Amino acid sequence: MDERASVRTIDRMVEVLDCFSVDRPAWSLTELSARLDLPKSTLHRFLVGLERNGLVRRGHDDNKWRPGHRLVIWGSVASATNDIQQIAAPIMRELAETTRETILLTEYHVGEVVCMDKIETSHSVRIALDVGSRRAPHAGASSKVLMAYLPEDEVERIIEVGLPRYCERTITDPVALRSELERIRQCGYALSYEETDCGAWGIATPVRDWSGAVVAAVGLAGPTVRYSDDAAQRYVALCCDAADAISRRLGAGRADIR
C-alpha cells in the first residue's frame, strides 16, 4: 500500500469512528452508508477490518455497529497521559513571546478559579499572580470565561454565595454578571479592566476537550499602562488562536471550538 492510500485509509477510519457518540452509539450498515456516502459493500469490508482489530463490534441482537473494546483501552491511555499543562506550555510560551505579556492557564475547581501555569512577561512591570493561587469566579477575564460555560445551576450557586468587590470595576450585580456571561458565550472571549487588581487588565479564551466541554482558559494579563484598544483586539485574536490550538491537541473538533 502506498503512502497516499495509507493516509486515505486512516482518514476513512477516523470518519467512521467519528460517527459514534454518546447520543448515537450504534449504527446500522445502511445508516452509516448514507451518513458517509459510501457503498455498502465497500463500507462493510472496512467495518469488518475494524472489527477484526477491536475498533468496532456488531450487536448480537440488532446487528448494529458500535465502538469496540480497543477504543476503551486507547481512551484510558489518552486520559491518563493527557496533561493539559504539558500540552499548553509550548503554545503559551509562543503567545508570551509574541505579546510580551504574562500568559495564564486556569481551571475551575469547586467554586474557585485556580492558576495552573504561568509564563511570565519579559517586562519589568508585571502582574503578581502565582501558580496555585485561587480567585473568585466572577471577577477577572480568566475567571469570567470559565464561569460563562458552567452549568446554569452552578452559576446560580456562585451568585447566591455572593459577589464580593475586589476592585473598582468588579461586577457585583447578578443581573449585570449574567449579561456579561452571555456576552462572553456569544463572542467567545472575556475582557477585564481593574476587576481584581488596580492597574491590571486581562483577556481570556476557553479551552475545550474532545467532548467540546470547556476545561480551562488561556489568559493574558498586563498592567493598564500598556493597555490600548488596538492592543486588546490584537491580543484577543492571538489568545483565541492559542486556545484553539490547545483545544485541537486535546481532541476538540472544529465544530466544538468557539
Q: For residues 180 and 144, what is the distance between their CA atoms, to the nearest angstrom?
A: 8
Report the pLDDT value the prediction gives residue 244, as an integer from 0 to 100.
Answer: 94
Residue 258 placed within a domain: no
Contacts 24+ apart (CB under 8 A), 146-151: 146/106, 146/107, 146/108, 146/113, 146/204, 146/206, 146/214, 146/216, 146/217, 147/108, 147/113, 147/181, 148/181, 148/182, 148/184, 148/185, 148/190, 148/206, 149/185, 149/206, 149/213, 149/214, 150/108
Residue 255 placed within a domain: no
Report the pLDDT value the prediction gives residue 3, as an integer from 0 to 100.
Answer: 66
Residue 256 placed within a domain: no
Do 66 and 118 sit in the same domain of this protein? no
Report the pLDDT value the prediction gives residue 27, as an integer from 0 to 100.
Answer: 94
Structural domain count, the chain: 2
Which amino acid is present at 1?
M
Report the pLDDT value the prediction gives residue 128, as an integer from 0 to 100.
Answer: 58
Strands (E), the chain: 56-58, 65-67, 102-109, 112-119, 134-135, 190-193, 200-208, 214-223
Do 170 and 63 sit in the same domain of this protein? no
* Residue at which a domain ends, from 57, 79, 101: 79
Q: What is the DSSP letter of 21?
A: -
Do 105 and 221 sit in the same domain of this protein? yes
Report the pLDDT value the prediction gives residue 125, as an integer from 0 to 100.
Answer: 46
Do 38 and 20 sit in the same domain of this protein? yes
CATH of the domain at 25: 1.10.10.10
Residues with Cβ < 8 Å from 49, sequence gap 6 or more?
none
pLDDT tens series, the chain, 258 aa: 566 777 788 888 888 998 888 778 999 999 999 999 999 999 999 999 999 999 999 988 899 999 999 988 887 776 666 588 889 999 999 999 998 889 999 999 888 898 888 887 765 444 556 777 788 999 999 999 999 999 999 999 999 988 999 988 999 999 999 999 999 999 999 999 989 888 889 999 999 988 889 999 999 998 888 888 888 899 999 999 999 999 999 888 765 655
Do 132 and 236 sit in the same domain of this protein? yes
Q: Is the pTM higher than 0.95?
A: no
CATH of the domain at 200: 3.30.450.40
Residue 49 placed within a domain: yes
Residue 254 placed within a domain: no
* Residue at which a domain ends, from 62, 79, 96: 79
Question: Could you list the residue range(s) of the whole structural domain that residue 245 is in?
Answer: 83-249
Q: For residues 66 and 57, what is the distance between their CA atoms, to the nearest angstrom?
A: 5
Do 43 and 89 sit in the same domain of this protein? no
The SS3 of residue 214 is strand
Q: For residues 258 and 23, what is the distance between their CA atoms, to the nearest angstrom?
A: 21
Do 161 and 227 sit in the same domain of this protein? yes
Do 116 and 169 sit in the same domain of this protein? yes
Residue 257 placed within a domain: no
Residue 102 placed within a domain: yes
Do 158 and 135 sit in the same domain of this protein? yes
* Residue at which a domain ends, from 63, 79, 95: 79
Q: For residues 182 and 189, what is the distance between their CA atoms, to the nearest angstrom?
A: 11
Task: Quote the cell numbers at residue 183.
Answer: 456576552
Residue 181 placed within a domain: yes
Do 54 and 150 sit in the same domain of this protein? no
Do 229 and 209 sit in the same domain of this protein? yes
Do 94 and 62 sit in the same domain of this protein? no
